[in-house]
Amino acid sequence: MANDPLDEMVQFLQPEARIDLKHISIDHLLGLSGSEDGIQTLLKNKKIIESIIELRNDKVREIAKNALFLLVNLSANAKGVSELLKYKTYNNKNVIEIFIGYVMDQEKQDADAVCMILSNMTRPENSVELCVDYFMPHLNDLLNIFVNTNYNKKGSKLHYLSPMFSNLSCSPRIRKWLTEENPHVPLLKLLPFCNYEESVIRRGGAIGTVRNLSFDTDYHEFLLRNDIDLLTYLLLPLMGNEEYPDDEMDKLPIALQYLPKEKKRDADVDIRKMIIETLNKLCAKRKSREILRDNGVYYVLREYHKWEKDPNALLACENVVDILIQKEDEVGADDLTTIEVPDDMKEKFHKMDEEYINSVQ
Amino acid sequence: MSDTVESSKKASMTDEERLALCQKLDKELDEFIDSLEKKGYDDGWPEDRWEEEMDKHPFFMKTVPENGELSPLAEGLAKLKYDPEENTPLELANNYKEDGNFNFKHKNYRLAVLGYTEGIKVRCDNAEVNASLYNNRAAAHWFLKNYRSALYDSEKALTFDPGHNKARIRAAKAAFEGKKYDTCIEHCQKFLENNTDKEVSELLNKAKRSKMLKERDERKKNRTEIKKNEEKDELIKTIIQRGIKISKCDDEDDIDLSKLEPTLPGAHDAIVYLENDILMWPILLLYPEYQLTDFIRGCPENAPLIKQLEQLFPAPWDEENKYKCSTINVYFEGYDKMPHIVDPNKNLGEILVSRYFELKGGTAAFFILPRGSRVERNYIESHI
């Protein structure tokens, strides 16, 4: 008798194992991966994990699919990610490379599950740089695949590449790649998905990527460059069919002027919050603030504030408005990130925020 | 038989006779030539103008004579060059292309288009030649500012040779000029996939911006139209709510703005409007005594009529100072064709719904007469 009952199962998971046994085993393991305890048990057995990864290409679609779903569950766990990253195939390939290859194959079934795995695996911040090493040579290809919404011939939508890019953009190397011409600026291809109606996943990933870029003040000048048109993409989800006086309307980016009656704000509060957060970050420098004012960001936020119900979003919105409504001599600092806030004040502000949120709720 | 007779006749000429005849003919020829020499040779091309003459000769001419007429010889030569029986389709296509290129070089773009068109008609099976024929015709169209044709031909050239950069750029430019910004953007992007070109990048940005502006203008137009319609509906709804009788309207569904437009010359823009849910009416005040009128725009329905009159009196024409708010009577002519006296202290809105009142020509009309005067009596009597 083996100590670990899972050891016994490994033989049923081999490619040449009987299909019915393989099927039942993977089903069982998939169930196991649904709970935290189950994942911990699975992670203790290296052989099982290896066998599951190999099953991604099983001839029986159900088995391959369940293996992939199991890996989705596993990669949702931080420890699972670090274990998976250690794995190498017999031809010395890393799982990231394996899964990138899987997505690149237009004929693969269930590529969406693999996109989820990639999105999950890039999430833990402590291992993102390791992932980037494997991603680096394939970034342009992956972006082109992402942009081509009919890439997968078996009906996978590949939406989850969007949060993957967003996760990756936590790495300075990815931020550099996103903003440099090679021969095109990758971010430009990603931006239209900020307003991609068909998928909230794609929208969230694209906006998340922009938000990560905005955390890096070095990129503010780039982000607010005229030809990037970032404000058009960021403000559109915050706008409904409200009317603006002509002088305000003229200030807005052209694509946002006179939106049709059927225009609605983005229904996803997380996306709205990410946008406000990004705008907040973009307020750091005087030059950026001036660009935001010149593009009528204040007017859009004013109208948005009348509509928003979520207390956190409202608070975030007010914070941006508070900065934009001031004249530069009232702001009194070129770069807001350089201002040191004493701890007692921080605490006080924090308390005020909490009180505000409670009062709105 | 006759043959023998002839031969016998010829034979009858002796050698001496023949010799004499020869000498005589020689002499005559000499005399003839002599006479020619005296005239000199003046049919040749003069030395100072030989180049001009050469250009006129069908063998050497480089351009079609200005009157467009070809000499039979030139026509024959042309036929030789463009004869389907003498040339393969490819040769023909190339010959027409040359012809087009020649005219193109001399900026005869219309003739160039004709040349390329003939070449295209040949339908030779060489993709390169066809691409070049279409591309060149596109260029000629471009210079003629036929942007639609230039775009069509450039795209046609691209079907023969998708990598034809000149055709791609011209397609983009022509699409831009023809305000087909999507097409322009598409061509620019296709081009920039494999090339870097500052001009094309700039064109792409220009097209994107123009497209945005065009779309913005369309959205603006739509929104303004919708708003205008909403305002119109709101206005009509309010008038119906107030229960004001409009002349020539049988029922509520019959009311539209055309029946509310003031019919007075030059006053059509003074039409009733809503301001903060208050109807603002145009009113007409008539003074039969002097045959004068006052027209006031935008009188609020919730203000007494007297307020309007206060603004007008004293009137400059009222030398006898008979027209004061306290000394006049105000009438309207009802749909019963009778004058009805009005209390000017009432709000305008109230007067508009009084019995027998009917709004004619979108304007509320009132007759102003000095109370108890002869003019007032005459005015009333004229209606009985």
Residue of A nearest to B209 (CA): A254
Q: Which of B338, B334, B341, B328 is nearest to B382 (CA)?
A: B338
The pLDDT score that the predictor gives to residue B70 is: 64
Pinpoint the residues of chain B covered by CATH 1.25.40.10.
Answer: 56-177
In chain A, the percentage of residues whose pLDDT exceeds 70 is: 99
Does residue A310 contact residue A292 with C-beta atoms inside 8 Å? no
Q: Note whether B216 contacts A258, CB cutoff 8 Å.
A: yes
pLDDT, tens only, A59-108: 999 999 999 999 999 999 999 999 899 888 777 889 999 999 999 999 99
pLDDT, tens only, A271-295: 999 999 999 999 999 999 999 999 9
Residue B59, pLDDT above cutoff 70: no
Residues 181-210 of A with CB under 8 A from B: 183-184
Distance from CA of B278 to the nearest CA of A (A): 22
Distance from CA of B214 to the nearest CA of A (A): 10
Residue A9 CB coordination number (10 Å): 20
Q: Note whether B219 contacts A255, CB cutoff 8 Å.
A: no
Does residue A189 contact residue A202 with C-beta atoms inside 8 Å? no
Distance from CA of A194 to the nearest CA of B (A): 18
B51 — pLDDT class (breaks 50, 70, 90):
confident
Q: Note whether B216 contacts A254, CB cutoff 8 Å.
A: yes
The pLDDT score that the predictor gives to residue A304 is: 96
The pLDDT score that the predictor gives to residue B41 is: 62
Residue B319, pLDDT above cutoff 90: no
Q: In the predicted model, what is the mean pLDDT of residues B211-222? A: 93
Residue B86, pLDDT above cutoff 80: no
pLDDT, tens only, B174-202: 999 999 999 999 999 999 988 889 999 99
Question: A interface mutation test: which of B215, B219, B222, B225 has the most A CBs within 10 A?
Answer: B219
Does residue B349 contact residue B301 with C-beta atoms inside 8 Å? yes
Q: In the predicted model, what is the mean pLDDT of residues B22-29? A: 90
Q: In the predicted model, what is the mean pLDDT of residues A253-282? A: 95
Q: In the predicted model, what is the mean pLDDT of residues B264-293? A: 89
Q: Note whether B216 contacts A227, CB cutoff 8 Å.
A: no
A157-161, A356-360, B172-176, B328-332: segment of lowest average pLDDT: A356-360
What topology is assigned to B254-381 in CATH?
Ubiquitin-like (UB roll) (3.10.20)
- SS (HEC) of B60-119: CCCCCCCCCCCCHHHHHHHHHHHCCCCCCHHHHHHHHHHHHHHHHHCCCHHHHHHHHHHH
Tokens 């190339």 appear where? Answer: B94
Residue A133, pLDDT above cutoff 90: yes
Question: B interface mutation test: which of A226, A257, A259 has the most B CBs within 10 A?
Answer: A257
Residue of A nearest to B224 (CA): A258
A260 interfaces chain B, CB cutoff of 8 Å: yes
Does residue A107 contact residue A69 with C-beta atoms inside 8 Å? no
The pLDDT score that the predictor gives to residue A1 is: 41
A360 — pLDDT class (breaks 50, 70, 90):
confident
CA distances from B224 to A119, A242, B221, B276 (A): 45, 13, 5, 19
Q: Note whether A254 contacts B212, CB cutoff 8 Å.
A: yes
Residue-range domain boundaries for chain A: 1-79, 88-193, 216-361
Residue A261 with chain B: CB contacts under 8 Å: 223, 226
Residue B209 with chain A: CB contacts under 8 Å: 254
Q: Cα–Cα distance between B136 and B96 in angstroms, integer?
A: 12
pLDDT, tens only, B333-366: 998 889 999 999 999 999 999 889 988 888 999 9
DSSP letters of A79-144? Answer: HHHHHHHH-B-TT--BHHHHHHHHHH-TT-TTHHHHHHHHHHHT--GGGHHHHHHHHGGGHHHHHH
Residue A196, pLDDT above cutoff 90: yes
Average pLDDT, chain A: 91
Does residue B365 contact residue B327 with C-beta atoms inside 8 Å? no
When comparing pLDDT for B14 and A267, which is higher?
A267
A255 interfaces chain B, CB cutoff of 8 Å: yes
A262 interfaces chain B, CB cutoff of 8 Å: no
Residue of A nearest to B222 (CA): A260
The pLDDT score that the predictor gives to residue A310 is: 94
Residue B219 with chain A: CB contacts under 8 Å: 257-260
B74 — pLDDT class (breaks 50, 70, 90):
low
Q: In the predicted model, what is the mean pLDDT of residues B96-111? A: 92
Q: Which CATH architecture has domain B56-177?
A: Alpha Horseshoe (1.25)
- Closest partner residue to A255 (CB to CB) among B212, B223, B226 is B212
Pinpoint the residues of chain B covered by CATH 3.10.20.90.
Answer: 254-381
Residue A258 with chain B: CB contacts under 8 Å: 216, 219-220, 222-223
Residue of B nearest to A243 (CA): B223
Q: Cα–Cα distance between A123 and B181 in angstroms, integer?
A: 41
Residue B10, pLDDT above cutoff 60: no
When comparing pLDDT for B141 and A327, which is higher?
B141
In chain B, the percentage of residues whose pLDDT exceeds 70 is: 87
Does residue A195 contact residue A162 with C-beta atoms inside 8 Å? no
- Closest partner residue to A258 (CB to CB) among B192, B196, B219 is B219
Q: Note whether B216 contacts A257, CB cutoff 8 Å.
A: yes
B237 interfaces chain A, CB cutoff of 8 Å: no
Residue A30 CB coordination number (10 Å): 20
Give the ipTM.
0.72
The pLDDT score that the predictor gives to residue B49 is: 75
Residue B192 with chain A: CB contacts under 8 Å: 184
Q: In the predicted model, what is the mean pLDDT of residues A148-163? A: 95
Considering A46-50, B164-168, B269-273, B378-382, the range whose residues carry the highest mean pLDDT is B164-168
Q: Note whether A261 contacts B226, CB cutoff 8 Å.
A: yes
Q: In the predicted model, what is the mean pLDDT of residues B152-165? A: 95
Question: B interface mutation test: which of A236, A248, A258, A263 has the most B CBs within 10 A?
Answer: A258
